[in-house]
Structure 1
């Protein structure tokens, strides 16, 4: 999935972000738990496991 596709999918659930605001935290591995859950939802993940 490209950053542009992710931005489009997030927009579909009412989250308006610019590509640069998504690219930077993802490339550095530093983002909020809320963003992680939104991302997982939009890429089709239905389960989250924690050990």
Structure 2
């Protein structure tokens, strides 16, 4: 994150990576299962490549959408800019998102 309050590219990459991980956590979906679900949509991936792609957080919007559909997400909840700057910037951001989104889904 940059000092002037702007969010840098790496922070956006962490956000989408953690959103994907959070949705997988909420549904108990492993990388192996996601590979199988993507294959059912005609998208060829393997577990090591998928893990690396997600770990980097560098993937296309179409790939993100394909993963969300394969996981079964019908609605995405994006965090506020303040949440991105603070509580979603750390090492456990995927868990924080999963907890946050899981609680909102139950309300």
- 1:1-25 per-residue CA deviation (whole Å, 9 max, x = no partner) reads 1110000000001111111111101
Aligned residues: 51
- C-alpha deviation, 1:38, in angstroms: 0.4
> Which of residues 35, 47, 50 in structure 1 aligns to 2:75?
47
Give the greater-gyration-radius structure (CA): 2
Instruction: Choose between structure 1 and 2 for higher RCO, CA contacts under 8 A separated by at least 6 residues.
Output: 2
Question: By percentage of residues, which structure has more helix?
Answer: 2
Show the counterpart of 1:38. Answer: 66
CA distance in 2 between counterparts of 1:22 and 1:12 reads 15
Show the counterpart of 2:39. Answer: 11
TM-score relative to the length of structure 2: 0.43
| Unaligned runs of at least 5 residues, structure 2 | 1-28, 81-107
Show the counterpart of 1:25. Answer: 53
TM-score relative to the length of structure 1: 0.82
- Deviating beyond 2 angstroms after TM superposition, the runs of 4 or more aligned structure 1 residues are 47-51
